[in-house]
Amino acid sequence: MRRFEIQSGDADRRADKFLLQVCPKLPKSAVYKAFRNKKIKRNGKKCTFDEILKVGDTIEIWLKDDDFGTLDFSSVSEALPFLAPAYETPSFLIYDKPTGVAVQSSSNDKLKDLTTIAGNWFCSVYGKPENGFLPAPCHRLDANTSGLVVFAKTPAAARVFFRMQQEGKIQKKYLALCVGIPKKAEDRLHWHWGKDEKTNKVFVRPTPFGGSKPIDTSYRLLEKNDEFSLLEVTLGTGRSHQIRAQLAAIGTPILGDRKYGNTTANKKYHVFYQCLTAHRLVFDVKPDDLSVANELAGQIFIAKLPKEFTKYFPNTDQQPKE
């Protein structure tokens, strides 16, 4: 699935023309079949081929990755939400990754690969580095999880980041828009985790089971209404799908999560990707003799909230300050 927020360069165009642009390998007959089969959504609802797109529209294209082909950045620069990093320091780029974009991809599809986007942006601003090292991701997020991803500009910066991470000096805080209200306003859960490699689905339980590994998940209720809760989540461990499976297990699945979520709620609110964002990075680093660490000492970086969060919690104070 790919998700686009329409900007000025693609506004006032028919939906089928936009789809032909971003799926250059797809025959016209397949394009119109996708519309007939409801594979194209506009603002969460079925989109017809002749609809005129407007600035701010969200287009979701539910097709296989290979259908999108290899994309020329200049042709869709207006449709890509984040080509430039949200923050930059002398040694790091910090991207606010949109939903539907992979951090790294094994395919040649540059649209979903944030590493390629970061490298192209870096070369356009600074030129191709003489040593050939392009910005490299220091950690990962699921493709359909949005939020902050750190890229190191140099191998030395990457080593310092990994060291800080191993020493517990980097706090990663997530925000989750959940269906329902947790029984406790705040809790730290020491549960156990296992994964079915065949289905790529994980299981969490409060007690150990065969082949399980311990996990550590903390959450805090920030806001709530009649149907949803906004939770801040902090990980003590970082296992695959940990937040998604853990929150579902305590009765507050993430809205839009197709693997662990509430199918009825997802359909009711027309959300089909998990409303989970890596919202805040806090560097608990004291200045030392490493200049790379110095530039991050005491820094806090905050991602913008996806519109689904502000739709249901319009008065939240979790947005970054302008």
Q: What is the pLDDT of residue 72?
A: 38
Structure tokens at 190: 């020491």
The span from the CA of 72 to the CA of 147, in Å, is 24
**Residue 141 CA: distances (Å) to CA of 57, 129, 201, 212, 241:** 25, 26, 16, 22, 10
pLDDT along the chain (322 residues), means of 10: 68 82 70 86 89 84 62 38 76 90 69 80 84 91 92 92 89 96 97 93 95 96 96 93 97 95 93 93 75 80 91 84 58
Phi, psi of 146 (to 5 degrees): -90, 175
Q: What is the pLDDT of residue 232?
A: 97
Query: Which among 269, 187, 270 has a CA at the least distance from the CA of 227?
Result: 269
Fold of 2-70: 3.10.290
> Helix, strand or coil for residue 201?
strand
